[in-house]
Structures are given as C-alpha cells and as structure tokens.
Amino acid sequence: MINIDWKGWKRALFDFFLPGECPICAKAAYLDDVSFSCLSCLDSVAWIQQSRCKLCGVGMDGMDYAGLTCKNCREFPPLFGAGRAMFYLNKAGRQLVHQLKYDRNKRILEDVPFFLERAPQFLEFLTGAVLIPVPLHPKKLYKRGYNQSLWIAEAFAREAGVSTVAYDCLKRVRNTPTQTKLDRKERQQNVKNAFALKDGTCLDGFDRVVLVDDVYTTGATLDACAKALIDRGVGLVEVATLGHG
C-alpha cells in the first residue's frame, strides 16, 4: 500500500497558488518543515508563561501573584470570571496579530499547536468550554470578508478536542467607531450595549463559556460581550485571547 503525504501535497498546492512567508521575519514559510512561522521566530514572541492576573491573564512576573489580580482589573473589575492571554504584544507578537487581522493570513493559525507549547496551561483553560468569538458588525464583516476571532476560536477548538466547540452566536448590533485611540472609559462607553445574541441562539446546558478575541487591551469589548451573555442567563463567562497589550 502506498502511503501518500496528503499534508505535504496540500502544503505544496498552497505554496504554489498562495505563496507565503514567515509573518515575523518574512523568510520562506515552513523553513523548519513543521511550522508556517520559523520556530526561532516563535521563540522571539513574548509568551506569557509564569504568574498571571487571574482575570485578564496578563503576566505578572517577578513575584508569585498566584490568585491575585493586576492593577487594571482591581480598579476596573470585569464582569467575566477569568482570562488567559498567550503572549504580550511585543514586535513579533504584533506582527502575528496584524497579519492575521488585517492581511487575511489565516495560515498563521496552523501554528496554534506550537503556540500552546509556549503558553503553559492555556490548552487546559480552553478544554471543555464553549468558545464564542467576539463578532464584527455586518458592515465591517462584509468589508473585511472574515472575522479573525472566529478563525481563532475554531483553531482553539480543534486543538482542545471534542469536548470543546466554537459557537458563533453573538452579533454586533451597533457599528461602533474604532477603539484604537480611545482610553478605557471611552472604550466602555463606545461598546456599551453593542452586542446581543443572534436570533435562535440556545445556551441551555452550557456550563462554561469562553469569549475569544485576537487581543486584550482594556477588556472593554470583552466585558460588553460578557454582559450580553450574562444578561441571557450564562453563569460563567471567561475570556481567551492571543495577545495582551
């Protein structure tokens, strides 16, 4: 019986029709023959590996902060119950997020298994949860053509296994301006009542929901999404993002 390397053939076809490059150093993709990004480039990402805020997931290295919260979460307690982020937005981390979010580079998510190796306990945090992506407004979704948060949620669910599912059940009911230049209070006001459940959504039997987004900045968007879920009776809402910063 002939063993066919279907994965290799698929990669070759992708490279022929959609040639790519490492999103961090711009050298050839699959230079290490196992990952889309260079493994050495992934090592240059500032992975959150040790003590972290129990609410937003930001690293709190230097002391044992186990069970404590960061200054931001103490001053502005979120509605969600816990959170994890995989890495800080240093230069390499920003490049990963930027290419995924703005350049439609979904192949970055082929490396999620390598991300998980570098972010201790992140996979355990996802396992068994319903992963709900932060939605885009229909106008922005039409313009962009995809929701990177849905891509991330689906990639996380694949790695976490059959006990974890991605459920695209939230909608954005207000087309809010970009949050880039807003402070925390302005962001909170900007996304207030901006989210709701899609018609026909059933959350019965969901013991634990994890909101998924590309980055955690102030948490205002995730908190607004959490409120929409809590208002509909979800008991435990948590959050997971790629980047933090």
- Whether residues 15 and 93 fall in one domain: no
- Whether residues 228 and 130 fall in one domain: yes
Report whether 225 contacts 195 (CB < 8 A). yes
Mean pLDDT of 204-228: 94
> Is residue 17's pLDDT more than 50?
no
Mean pLDDT, rounded, of the chain: 89
Q: How many domains does the chain have?
A: 2
DSSP assignments along 85-134, one per residue: EEEE-SHHHHHHHHHHHHS--GGGGGGHHHHHHHSTTHHHHHTTPEEEEP
Share of the chain residues as helix, strand and coil, in percent rounded to the nearest 5? 35, 15, 45
Report whether 232 contacts 203 (CB < 8 A). yes
Mean pLDDT of 20-40: 93
Assess if residue 23 is contained within a domain.
yes
What's residue 204's pLDDT?
87
- Other C-beta atoms closer than 10 Å to the C-beta of 47 total 21
Assess if residue 177 is contained within a domain.
yes
- Whether residues 55 and 126 fall in one domain: yes
pTM of the model: 0.89
What's residue 106's pLDDT?
96
- Whether residues 135 and 227 fall in one domain: yes
